[in-house]
Chains A and B, each alone.
Chain A
Amino acid sequence: MPNILESQNLVKTYGDFTAVKGITFDIKEGEIFSLLGPNGAGKTTTISMLSTLYAPTSGDATIGGYSVTKDPMAVKRVIGVVPQDLALYEDLTAKENLVFWGQMYGLGGKSLTSRVDEVLEQIGLTDKAKNRVKTYSGGMKRRVNIGVGLLHKPRLLFMDEPTVGIDPQSRRAILDTVKDLNKQGMTVLYTTHYMEEAAELSNRVGIIDHGELIALGTQDELTKQVGETETLILHIGENEDPETLAKALSGVEGVQKADVTDHEVSVITADAKDILAAVVGKANERGIKIRSIDIREPNLEAVFLHLTGRALRDT
C-alpha cells in the first residue's frame, strides 16, 4: 500500500519549549495508525501541524502528496479532523451542524443533503437529528463531533482522543465506528493515551513521549522490544506503602523491574508464575496486604513502561 502520509522531522517549538522534537513516520493508505502517549506528550501538537493549523518550526509532511507547509488548502481537502474537545454549535441541531460543516467542506445542494442523511445514519442519530446538540448526552455529542469529520469522505481521518470523558457504552460505539470506517477504506490516524484502544484498533502504533517518537511498529514488533516478559500487577490496600514493596521486590530473583502506579506495583518478569511465591512472601515480611494479583501478557503498557520507566496512566 502507498503512503498517504509521510512526516519528515516535524519540529514545533514555543519559545524555549520544544513540544515536538523531530517526528518522522508514515501512514499507509487503508491502515489505522495510533499515536499512543500520555497527556502532554505532543500528540495534539503533531495532529495540529499535520492538519495545517500550526506551521511546523522545521520539517515538513506530505498528505496525499501535498505538503502541509506549501499547499495547506489541498491537504485540508484530503483530511478530516475529529478534535479532542467537542467543536460544535450547541444551539444548532445535529442536522444544522452537519449542514454547516458540510458547506465549509465545499459541499452543497443535493449531495450535501444526502451526505448529511448518510452521516446521521452512520452515527445513529437520524431520529434525534432535529434536537439541539445542547440537549444531547456526552456520548451523542461525541458522535456528532465524529460525524462532522466524515462529511466530505476524507481519505485520511485524524481522531484526536475521541473517547476522552465518555461512558463505556459510547466509547464502545466509537471504537466500533472507527473499525467500520477503516473497513470502508478510510485511513485513520488515532491518538490516545489508552493502551487498550491502541491495541484494539491499530495496525501500527507510534509511541510518543516528551515530543519524541520513541517506538514505532506493529504491536508484535513493539512487544518484542521488551522481550518475552510478563507483567505482574499487585493491587494493595490504600493504607499500604507501595514504594516499600516495590523496593523490596527489586531484589527478588527473576524480577526485571518493579514500579509503583497509584496503589499498584507493576513487576516485569520473564515468567510470573516463577516469582509469585517470592513476591507474596516479601509482602508478608513487610506486613503489606495484597488484595489481588493480575498477570498480563506483554502489551503496549509494558512497552511504554520498559521504554520510559513510567506507566501510561500515571503520566
Chain B
Amino acid sequence: MKSVASVSKKEVKKQSLSLCGKKVKIIMKKIFAIAWKDAIVRFTSPSELLFFIILPIVFTFLLAGGTPSNDDDNRIRIPVVDESQTAVSQQIIDELENSTAVRPEVVTRAEAQSQFDDRRADAVFIIPAGVDIEALQNGSAQVEMLQQPSNLNAGIAQRAILTAIRRVSSSVSAAQNAVRQREAKQAFASDAEKQAYFESSLTLAQDIQADAPERVTVIEGTTPDRVNYDPRANSSAGQLITWVFIPLFGISALFASERQGGTLRRLLTTPTTKATFLLGTISGQVAMALIQMFLLVGFAILAMKLNWGRDPLALFVILLASALAAAAFGATLGTFIKTEAQASGVSIMFGMVMALMGGCWYPLELFPTAIQSAVKVLPTTWAMQGMLDLVLRGGGLVDVLPEAGVLLVFAAIFLSVGVSRFRYE
C-alpha cells in the first residue's frame, strides 16, 4: 500500500509538472504572439524604417563629423604648387612631408586655386619659378601662400611652411659659411671646385639637420582630461540612446492605442492575463529595440571603425539593461496618459529632454556640476555612461556593471509603478 501511495504521489507530481509546463508553454506562445503582432503593426508603414534605422544612422554619421578616411594620416592637407621644379623647391616639399602638422599634396596651380575657392583647402602653398639655391643665396627667393580667413588650420600650415623654408635656408647658410671659411684659408682652384665644395657642404648640413636628436621630450600627464570626448564615440552612443529610447517610451502610446481601440478590453475577455499582455508588449518592444541597437552598433563598428565589440557580453548587458529601463519607463508613462496622440507627444518630449540632459548630445562634463549631479536621476545618463565605458574608455563587463545595475533598478521601479497602475480603460 505504501509503495502504491508513493507511486501515486509521484504520478500526481509528474502530472502537475506536465500541466504546469503546458501552461508555461501556452503563456510563452501568447507573449510571442503579442510581440509579433506589435512588430507587424509597427512596421506596416515602410516609413517606420526611416525612424528605426535610416535617420539614426544619418544623425550618428553627421554628428560624428563623418567616417574616418582609410589612411591614418590626420595632418592638415596643404595643396602645394611647385612651379620652380628645383632641388630647393623639392627640399622644401620634403621638409613639409616630414612635418607632423601638415601633409603636402603637389597639384597644379589651377587645381590648387579651385580647391581654395571651393574652401576644400584651408591654405595653398605656391613655390613660383626661380626659387633655387642662387635665389636663396642672394636672398631674392619669394614664395606665396593663400589662406582662408580666420582659419586655425591655415595658421598651423603657415607655421609649418615657415619652419620648412627656415630649415632649407639654414642648410644653405651653413654651406655658404663653409665655403667662405674654406676660401679664407685657401682659395679655390676653379669655380667648379667651389661649387662642388658648396654642394658637399650643403649635403653635410642637411644630413646633420636630419640626424639632429629631438631636443624636447614630451611626457603626457596622467591627470584625466576634464572633458572625455570623442565626437564619433559620443555620437554613436548618444544617437543610439536617443533613437531607441523614444520608441520605447512610445510603449505608452501602444497602451493608449489598445485602450482606445477596445482591443485591450477584448483581450482581457480572453483567457489571457494582464501580466501576459504586459510581458508580451514590453518584451516585444525590448526585442525590437535590441535589434535596432545591434544594427546601429554594427554600423558604428563597420563604417566608423569604433571599437564597440571589444567585450560582446558587456555590450549585451548594457544594451539590455538600457532597453529594459526605457521600456519600463514607457509602461509607467502609459498609465498616466489617456490618448495615443498625447502619448506620442509626451514620449518624444521625454526622449529628447532625457537624451539632452543625459549627455547624449553634449558631453556631460560641459554641464555645471550641480546639473551633472541632478541628471543622475535619469536612465539616459547611466545608459550613456555605460556605453561610453565600452566604446570610449575601452572598459569591459566589470566596468559597465555599476551602470547596468542602476538601469535595472530603474527598470524594476518603473515596472512596479506601471503594473500597479495599469488599467484597461
Chain A positions near chain B (C-beta within 8 angstroms):
51-53, 73, 76-77, 79, 81, 83, 85-92, 96, 100-101, 103-106, 108, 132, 148
Report chain B residues within 8 Å CB of A108: 26, 29
Q: Total A-B residue pairs with C-beta atoms closer than 8 Å?
A: 65
Q: Which 7 pairs from chain A and chain B are nearest by CB?
A: A87-B262, A87-B266, A103-B33, A104-B270, A91-B44, A81-B269, A76-B271
For B424, what are the chain A residues with a Cβ–Cβ distance below 8 Å? 53
> Chain B residues with Cβ under 8 A from A88's Cβ?
261, 263
Question: How far apart sit A106 and B267, CA to CA, in the bound complex (Å)?
Answer: 12
With contact pairs A92-B40, A100-B37, A104-B30 given, residues A86 and B269 touching in the complex (Cβ less than 8 Å): no
Q: Report A-chain residues with C-beta under 8 Å of the C-beta of B40.
A: 91-92, 96
> Smallest CB-CB separation from B264: which chain A residue?
A87
B271:A83 contact, CB within 8 angstroms = no
Q: How many residues of B contact A (CB 8 A)?
A: 21
Tell me the minimal C-beta distance from B350 to chain A in angstroms.
Answer: 25
Docked CA distance A106–B44 (Å): 25
Question: Of the candidates B41, B261, B273, which one forms a contact with A87 in the assembled complex, judged by CB atoms under 8 Å apart?
Answer: B261
A87 to B269, CA, bound (A): 12
* Interface: B272 (CB within 8 A): yes
Q: Which of B221-272 contact A (CB under 8 A)?
A: 261-263, 265-272
Please measure, in the bound complex, the distance between the C-alpha atom of A132 and the C-alpha atom of B37, giving whole angstroms: 14
Which one of B30, B263, B269 lies within 8 Å of A53 (CB-CB)?
Answer: B269
Q: How many Å lie between the Cα of A77 and that of B44 in the bound state?
A: 31
A105 and B266 alpha carbons, distance in the complex (Å): 11
Where chain B touches its partner, the secondary structure class is helix
Q: A89-B41, A92-B37, A108-B29 are in contact. Are A101 and B262 (CB under 8 A)?
A: no
Of A73, A85, A91, A96, which contacts B262 at CB under 8 A? A85
Pair B30/A83 contact, Cβ less than 8 Å = no
Contacts of B267 in A (CB 8 A): 104
Give the nearest-CB partner of B257 in chain A: A89
A45→B208 CA distance, assembly (Å): 100
Give min CB distance, A17 to chain B, whole Å: 16
CB-based contact B265/A103 at 8 Å:
no
- Closest A residue to B42 by beta carbon equals A91
Q: Which chain B positions have C-beta within 8 A of A52?
A: 268-269
Contact present for A51 and B269 (CB under 8 Å): yes
Tell me the residues in window 28-60 of chain B with beta carbons closer than 8 Å to chain A beta carbons: 29-30, 33, 37, 40-41, 44
A132 to B45, CA, bound (A): 12
CB distance from A133 to the nearest CB of B (A): 11
B30: chain A residues at CB < 8 Å are: 103-104, 106
| Minimum Cβ distance to chain A for residue B25 (Å) | 9
Given A76-B270, A108-B29, A83-B41 contact (CB < 8 Å): no
Q: Could you list 7 examples of A-B contacts with CB < 8 Å?
A: A76-B269, A86-B261, A87-B265, A96-B37, A100-B33, A104-B272, A148-B266
Write out, one digit per residue, whether chain B residues 2-34 have a CB within 8 A of any chain A CB (1) or not (0).
Answer: 000000000000000000000000100110010
Q: With a CB–CB cut-off of 8 A, which chain B residues contact A132?
A: 44
**CA separation between A104 and B26, bound complex, in Å?**
9
Given A83-B262, A83-B265, A103-B30 in contact, is the A89-B271 Cβ separation under 8 Å? no
Q: How far is the CA of A86 from the CA of B41 in the complex (A)?
A: 17
Residue on A nearest B32 in the bound complex, by CB: A103
Contact in complex: A105, B271 (CB < 8 Å): yes
| Assembled-state Cα–Cα distance A76/B271 (Å) | 5
Known: A53-B269, A101-B266, A105-B270. 10 other contacts (CB 8 A): A76-B269, A77-B271, A81-B269, A88-B261, A88-B263, A91-B41, A104-B267, A105-B271, A106-B271, A108-B26
Bound complex: CA of A73 vs CA of B424, how far in Å? 17
State A17–B162 Cα separation when bound (angstroms): 91
Q: Report B302-354 residues with CB < 8 Å from chain A CB.
A: none
A89 pairs with B263, CB closer than 8 A: yes
What's the minimum C-beta distance from A201 to chain B, rounded to whole angstroms?
22
B127 to chain A, nearest CB (A): 68
In the bound assembly, the distance between CA atoms of A51 and B269 in angstroms comes to 6
Contacts of A51 in B (CB 8 A): 269
Query: Complex: how many Å from CA A104 to CA B29?
Result: 9
Closest A residue to B268 by beta carbon equals A53
A176 and B75 alpha carbons, distance in the complex (Å): 82
Asked whether A103 and B29 contact (CB < 8 A) given A83-B262, A86-B262, A89-B263, the answer is yes
The residue among A96, A104, A106 with the most chain B CB atoms within 10 A of its own CB is A104
Residues of B within 8 A of A77 (CB): 271
Q: How far is the CB of B40 from chain A (nearest CB, A)?
A: 6
Point out the residues of chain B lying under 8 angstroms from A90, CB to CB. Answer: 261
Given contacts A53-B269, A76-B270, A92-B41, contact A104 B33 (CB under 8 A): yes
Looking across the interface, which residue of chain B has its beta carbon closest to that of A85? B262
Nearest-Cβ distance from residue A94 to partner chain B, whole angstroms = 14
Q: Could you give, for residues 394-416 of chain B, a 1 whenever the CB lies within 8 Å of some chain A CB and a 0 otherwise?
A: 00000000000000000000000
